[in-house]
Amino acid sequence: MKNAPFAFALLFVSMVSMAQQNTLKQYISSDKNQHRWLNEYTKLLEIPNVFGDSANMVKNAHFLLDVMKRNGIKSQLLLSGKPRSAPVVYGEIIVPGATTTIAFYAHYDGQPVNPKHWAEGLAPFTPVLMSDRHDKGGKIIPFPGDKDPINSQWRLYGRGSADDKAGVYAIITAYEAIVAAGMKPTVNIKFFFEGEEEAGSVYLDEIFKKNKDLLKADLWVICDGPRHISGKKQVVFGVRGDANLDLTVYGAKRPLHSGNYGNWAPNPAMRLAQLLAGMKDKTGAVTIDGFYDDVIPLTETEKQALARIPDVETMLKQDLALAQPDGNGKSMMELLNLPTLNINGMQSGNVGSMASNVIPTEATAVLDLRLVLGNDVDRQINKVINHIKKEGYHVVDHIPADEERLKFPLIARVAKRGTGYNAQRTPMDLPLAQRVIKAVAGTANGEVITVPSLGGSLPLYLFEKYLQSKPITVPIVNYDNNQHAENENVVLQYLWEGIETMAAVMTMK
C-alpha cells in the first residue's frame, strides 16, 4: 500500500485528463464550432490552389497564416526563392517541459482541374454542400444558417476539400480545440503546410536545406490521403514514389484527310496504341524488361501487417461497378506494394462532336510510374525509354524538327514531368510511432489499421534525406473523395473526426 498516494495521484491525473478529453470532444462536436469551421473552411476552398497560379497560392498561404495567428501560433512563410514557387506556411508551439517535437505536415495545393468534367451544379472553386455522394442520389443543399442543424454525413465539394486542405485545416483546428478545452499539448508542435505537393514537391528540398534547424523534429506526422476504405482509421508507414512522363509520337506534320491519305499516311494514334499496348499484358502486369527487378521485398513484420488489413475488394468492386480487377489474382494490398505504369491521359485529334475525318499529326499519353522501395526514378524511367527504343523508336526530348522527321520513321518524344521521387518506408516498430498509433486508437475504440505503405505518393524520402527524421502518415478523409479528379469532396464527419485525431496525437501519452 505504500504506493497508494502515488496511485491516487495517478487516478486524479487520469480523471482530470478524462474530463479534459470530454471537454475536447464536446468542443469538436459543438454545433456552434462546426458552423464556424464549415464557414471558414468553405472560404478556404474558394481560393484556387493549382500550382502556377502564384497570386492565388499566396492568397491561400495568407489565409492560413491569419487563422494560425488568431489561434496564437507563432507563424511565418518559408520561401524557396524559386520562380512560381508557392510559400510554405510554417508555425510552432513550444510547450514548456516537453522533450519531444512532432512536426505536422499537410499541403494546401490541389491537382490541376478541368471544370468541364465536374457534375452539374459542381465547380472546383465554388464549394457546394450535398446531401450524399453526387452519384448516389446526393442533392445540392444550401449552406445551413447559424440555427440549422449540420448533418455530419453531408459532403462538401470542391478542389482540395479532401486532398489536402482537409489535413491543413484539421491540424490547425486541433490545436484550437486543445487550447479551448483547457489542455496543453504533450509535445512541441511544428506546423508545416506545403503549396507544391501536387506538382511533385519540386522545391521542398530547397526549403528543407534552408531551414534545417527550424524544421528539426523527432517525428513527422503527415496528414494526407484517405482513411482505410473500410472507414477505419489507419497509420501508414510508407508511400510509393512517383514519376510522370509525357510520351508523344508523330505522323505527318499536317493533319490529313483520312480519305485522301488513308492507308498511306501513318496514323500516330495507332502508333501510340501499339506502343502502349506492348507495355502491359492483359492482366495489367508490366511487360517492360526488368520493370520489377529492383523491388525490395516486404519484411516479415510488414507482410503480417498487410495480412491484418481488412479485405475491401468485394465492397470496392461493387462500388466501382468492376467485374474484374487487374493483377491476375494478387490481392489489392500486394499490388499496391509493386511499381505501376498507368496512363493518366491519352489524346490524339478529337472525339465527340469535335471529331472529324482526319489523320491526326500526333498522339500523346501521360504516363504515371509509381515506385516502391528499391526502385529509382531515373532507373525506372530509363526502363520505359529502353522499351520504346526496342520498339524501333528514335527517342527525343524535344519537338522533332523536319530533318529528324524525314530521317527517322518512328520518333517518340519523352519528357519528364517535374522531377519525380523515390518511395519511402519507416520501420513499423519505431517507439514514437507506437505512441502515435496508441493515440489514434484512443479516438477509435482501440481500432486502428497499420499499413506498411500507401499506394499513393508523397516525397517522404526528403524527410530522411535532408532532415534525418522519419515520417509516418495519419490520413483523415473518406476514401471515396475523388481526389485528383473531378467532383472532389469530403464527408463532414471525417473532417470533424480528423480534428479529433490530430488533437489526440498532439496530446499523446
Judged by CB under 8 A, the chain residues 370 through 429 that form the site for its own copies are 370, 402, 405-409, 417
CB of 369 to its own copies, least distance (A): 9
> In this complex, which beta carbon is closest to its own copies, that of residue 307 or of residue 320?
320
ω into 163 cis (within 30 of 0): no
CB of 158 to its own copies, least distance (A): 15
Could you give the angle at which helices 31-45 and 165-180 cross, rounded to 10 degrees? Answer: 150
287 sits near its own copies (criterion: CB under 8 A): no
Q: Which stretch binds its own copies (CB under 8 A): 101-109, 293-301, 352-360, 490-498?
A: 352-360
Counting residues that bind its own copies (by CB under 8 A) gives 99
The maximal CA–CA distance of the chain, rounded, in angstroms, is: 101
Q: Which stretch binds its own copies (CB under 8 A): 36-44, 300-308, 459-467, 476-484?
A: 476-484
b/e code 214-233 from CB counts within 10 Å (16+ = b): ebebebbbbbbbbbbbeeeb
252 sits near its own copies (criterion: CB under 8 A): yes
Q: What is the DSSP letter of 293?
A: T
356 sits near its own copies (criterion: CB under 8 A): yes
Amino acid at 211: N
Alpha helices in 251-299 (DSSP H): 268-277
> In this complex, which beta carbon is closest to its own copies, that of residue 1 or of residue 320?
320
Whole-number Å distance between alpha carbons of 48 and 31: 28
> In this complex, which beta carbon is closest to its own copies, that of residue 144 or of residue 266?
266
Can you tell me which of 45, 106, 219, 265 binds its own copies, judged by CB under 8 A? 265
Q: Which stretch binds its own copies (CB under 8 A): 181-189, 295-303, 465-473, 478-486?
A: 478-486
Q: Rule CB under 8 A: which of 80-119 touch its own copies?
A: 111-114
C-alpha cell at 52: 502556377
b/e code 355-366 from CB counts within 10 Å (16+ = b): eeebbbbbbbbe
Site string for its own copies, 433-462 (x = CB under 8 A): ---------------------xxxx-----
Beta-carbon neighbour count of residue 38 at 10 Å?
Answer: 20
Can you tell me which of 99, 353, 445, 468 binds its own copies, judged by CB under 8 A? 353
Can you tell me which of 244, 299, 386, 493 binds its own copies, judged by CB under 8 A? 244
Can you tell me which of 14, 22, 153, 260 binds its own copies, judged by CB under 8 A? 260
Could you give the angle at which helices 31-45 and 54-70 cross, rounded to 10 degrees? Answer: 160
CB of 56 to its own copies, least distance (A): 15
CB of 157 to its own copies, least distance (A): 14
Q: Which stretch binds its own copies (CB under 8 A): 66-74, 79-87, 139-147, 340-348?
A: 340-348
> In this complex, which beta carbon is closest to its own copies, that of residue 300 or of residue 402?
402
Q: What is the DSSP letter of 296?
A: P
CB of 116 to its own copies, least distance (A): 9
- Beta pairing, strands 234-236 & 241-250: unpaired
346 sits near its own copies (criterion: CB under 8 A): yes
Q: Cβ(453)–Cβ(425) under 8 Å?
A: yes
* Residue 498, phi-psi category: left (phi > 0), alpha (psi -120 to 50), beta (remainder): alpha
> In this complex, which beta carbon is closest to its own copies, that of residue 202 or of residue 279?
279
Can you tell me which of 109, 164, 242, 500 binds its own copies, judged by CB under 8 A? 242
Can you tell me which of 276, 395, 432, 444 binds its own copies, judged by CB under 8 A? 276
3-state secondary structure 156-180: EECCCCCCCHHHHHHHHHHHHHHHH
Q: Cβ(226)–Cβ(479) under 8 Å?
A: yes
Amino acid at 152: S
Helix or strand run (H / E) with residue 419: strand 411-421
C-alpha cell at 338: 509493386
322 sits near its own copies (criterion: CB under 8 A): yes
CB of 84 to its own copies, least distance (A): 13
> In this complex, which beta carbon is closest to its own copies, that of residue 37 or of residue 393?
393
310 sits near its own copies (criterion: CB under 8 A): no
Amino acid at 271: R
CB of 267 to its own copies, least distance (A): 5
Q: Which stretch binds its own copies (CB under 8 A): 38-46, 73-81, 264-272, 441-449?
A: 264-272
> In this complex, which beta carbon is closest to its own copies, that of residue 240 or of residue 435?
240
Beta-carbon neighbour count of residue 253 at 10 Å?
Answer: 12
User: For residue 432, with 0-12 CB atoms within 10 Å meaning exposed, 13-18 middle and 19 or more buried, which class applies?
Assistant: middle
Can you tell me which of 194, 196, 480, 497 binds its own copies, judged by CB under 8 A? 480
Residue identified by cell 474484374 is 324
